[in-house]
Structure 1
Amino acid sequence: MPTPEPASRATLADVAARTGVAISTVSRALTRPERVNAATRERIAAAAAELGYTPNAAARALGSGRTRSIALLVSDVTNPFYFDIIRGAQQELGPAGYTPLLLDTEESEELEEAMLRRLRASYDGAIIAASRLTDRRLAELARTVPLVAINRQTRGVPSVFIDTPAGVEQVLEHLVSHGHRRVAYAAGPPTSWPNERRWRTFVAASERLGVAVSRVGPFEPRQSQGAAAADAVINTGATACLAFNDLLAIGMLRRFAERGVRVPDDLSVVGCDDIFGADFCHPPLTTITAPIAQAGRVAVSMLLAQLAGGASRRGVRLPTHLTIRASSGPAPGG
């Protein structure tokens, strides 16, 4: 029988022609071999090897109902916070035989939902880091798509929660111990679930500790927003501030230097996440250290348990802690 040209990619039809069986039989033999008798299966495997046939994701999906791909959605792929999420997820996905499908939702809840629905045939399940969807829309998706949310707690949605609110309490206790009595919070995006939880904890802890607090923002969680955030904090009269994330805090440090505000002599600055580079800036950033890569690994293990039909944890809480560096210190005149 004719052999396909070497430059052509072998297809199921080529393997079927070589072995004299139906295309559907070839598909079953390569994707669900237990449904084909041993002799036929061996003949098909040998022909596939001779022809250099390799099934693509679409073919696997048609034959087995599985793509062996996991959608990994992040709200800003340029944010170093997500680097460790991606790395941790890949550490679990690779050995399990899955490939990550990385999607940047650009801080948009509309784009996030559209990607999940439009690409549904391309992935078996999804991990959503820092979802911007409302609780209702996220819960609706979880009823139709196997998924795990990172940094989000929504009823009916399996989640990995990085407990930064507990870190916020540590921040205020640290600042109060240095004599600070007026502290500002530079808020993140209004659609960010962790942002509101941090602010609520910030307020509750301030009442317990007798601290006057103010809120500025919202700001996009990017270094470029740091100048506006720094200027707003100066106007509050606060002697210390907590930024929504490290990128915003690092941008604030640059602006304070431009304006001649000495950190921490005039004003203490604290970030959140402890991303790569937080200890390289000037001064090195005091921040809430989060187990980011671990969150990626745990989310994958929870999702794979769902896909396997076994028992899966509905929620996992990962603790955080405060890492003290040179950007925080005694209050002015303290």
Structure 2
Amino acid sequence: MARTDAPHVLARRHPMAERAATLRDVAERSGVAVSTASRALTKPGRVSEATAQRVLDAARELGYSASAAGRALSSGRTWTVALVVPDIANPFFFGVIRGTQSRLREGGYAHVLVDTEESVEAEERTLRSFRRSVDGVILAASRLDDESLVAWSADVPMVTLNRAFPALTCPSVVIDTPGGAVQALEHLTSLGHRRIAYAGGPRTSWSDGRRRAALTSAADRLGVEVVVLGPYAPQREAGSAAADAVVQSGVTAVLAFNDLLAFGILERLESRGVRVPDEVSVVGCDDVFGADLVRPSLTTVRAPLEKAGHHAADLLLASLDPVHPRIGAPVELPTHLVVRESSGPARS
């Protein structure tokens, strides 16, 4: 989703203008020095809010657009950020992309979206090819091992989304899906379920490992059994195998790694004549588009996806500030369970 226009296009040219407005025109219109106008448009944090607004208003009135090429030559920056995701077809990332893109646009950055197709090798190739051509990277749900991720974070300005550990010093945003999974387990326990499956995600998923640990601990506390199935690809097509394993295991409920997997489980259970939730309850994770449209509608853990993207972009822009770089503390965003039709009392 890279933009082809200059990152700092602020408005269309004023219809009365006879020539393209210059930075000097903007400075004169707003009553400031040219250097101040430049800072207001490229580094607004270095001038007062009132001055920045006055310059922005003048730029809009005149239809001024800064030259991205000129800024890159003078600053050594490309004004481009890469957002790297493991699967662009997964609706989980739609909200993340929206939140990231809107914040980067506000900061004057173009946005490059890269799909690594759940491949560790593709993720490394992406980082290697972009290390000198972008100003920073937002790495969502990285599949790299810890050592590789630490090495890359030292070489490329980076923010990770859904990946954090003590040795990783770059800023991070974490969605509390383990806490959401525990909420789901408590919900199912309250409905009388005592043997519950967890249909897990990819082996390389950091989030999946955290959920397994959280569910194991919660199961001990609640006095229930969690049967771990998988790993499964976080895709609808993997739901058939997961559903077959659920039926074979004899559990009365299943928590799926994500909603796509849960959608596939619902489809397969229906084709096998297994009634949901009368015979098996199904719970997903993420509350992506369509979770309330499938039948039965899906009980799932809602994640603040757009907010996560916004926070990730904020952290990256703060770390790229050449004057006052700020490495923000890890941001952890809460989740909550949305109860719909796919979960019900355990069969007797």
What is the TM-score of this pair, normalised by structure 2? Answer: 0.78
SS of the residue aligned with 1:121?
A: coil
The equivalent of 1:312 in structure 2 is 327
Superposed CA deviations along residues 276-329 of structure 1, whole A, max 9, x for unmatched, are 111111111000100010000000000000000422313011000000000001
Partner of residue 266, structure 1:
279
- Please say if residues 186 and 216 of structure 1, whose CA atoms lie closer than 8 Å, have aligned partners that are also in contact: yes
Amino acid at match of 1:182: R
Which residue identity lines up with residue 319 of structure 1 in the other structure? P
Q: Post-superposition shift, 1:63?
A: 3.7
- Which whole-Å deviations, capped at 9, do the CAs of 1:184-216 have from their partners, x for residues lacking one? 010110000000111111111111101111111
Distance in 2 separating the partners of 1:116 and 1:60: 24
2:179 counterpart letter in structure 1: A
**Pairing of 1:1-334 with structure 2 (within 5 A):** 60-155=71-166, 156-308=169-321, 309-333=324-348
Q: Is the 8 A contact 1:151 1:160 kept in 2?
A: yes
Counterpart-to-counterpart distance in 2, 1:154 and 1:162: 14
CA distance in 2, matches of 1:157, 1:55: 30
For residue 81 of structure 2, what is the amino acid of its counterpart?
A: I
Q: How big is each residue's C-alpha offset from its partner over 1:132-180, in whole Å with a ceiling of 9 and x where there is no partner?
A: 0111111111111111111111232311000011111111110010000
Letter in 1 for 2:164: Q
Alignment check: 8 A CA contact 1:273 1:290 kept: yes
111-120 vs 293-302, which moves further: 111-120
Judge conservation of contact 2:81–2:109 (CA < 8 Å) in 1: yes
Which amino acid in 1 is paired with 2:75?
S
Aligned partner letter, 2:153: A
Give 1:240's aligned amino acid.
Answer: A
- Quote the offset at 1:266 in angstroms: 0.2
1:19-75 deviations in Å (ceiling 9; x for gaps): xxxxxxxxxxxxxx86xxxxxxxxxxxxxxxxxx99565x65444211111110000
* RMSD of aligned residue pairs (Cα, Å): 1.5
Gaps of 5+ in 2: 1-33, 36-64
* Aligned partner of residue 221 in structure 2, secondary structure: helix
Structure possessing the higher radius of gyration over alpha carbons: 1
Residue type of the alignment partner of 1:152: R
What secondary structure sits across from 1:143 in the alignment?
helix
Find the aligned partners of 1:101 and 1:112 in 2 and give their Cα distance. Answer: 14
More divergent stretch after superposition (110-119 vs 187-196): 110-119
CA apart distance, 1:244: 0.3
1:30: which partner in 2?
none
- The count of aligned residue pairs is 282
Contact residue 139 and residue 154 of structure 1 kept, 8 A: no
Question: Would the aligned equivalents of 1:109 and 1:132 in 2 still touch at CA under 8 Å?
Answer: yes
CA distance in 1, matches of 2:133, 2:165: 25
Letter in 2 for 1:321: H
State, as a whole percentage, how many aligned pairs show the same letter.
54
Separation of aligned partners in 2, 1:278 and 1:129: 22
User: 2: distance between equivalents of 1:224 and 1:178?
Assistant: 29
Distance 1:312 1:158 in 2: 6
Unaligned runs of 5+ in 1: 1-32, 35-52
Deviations 1:214-255 (A, max 9, x none): 111111000011101100111111000000000000010000
Answer whether contact 1:71 1:100 (CA < 8 A) is retained: yes
CA distance in structure 1 between the aligned counterparts of 2:117 and 2:170, rounded to whole angstroms: 22
Quick one: distance in 2 between partners of 1:229 and 1:63? 55
Decide whether the 8 Å contact of 1:157 with 1:314 is kept in 2.
no
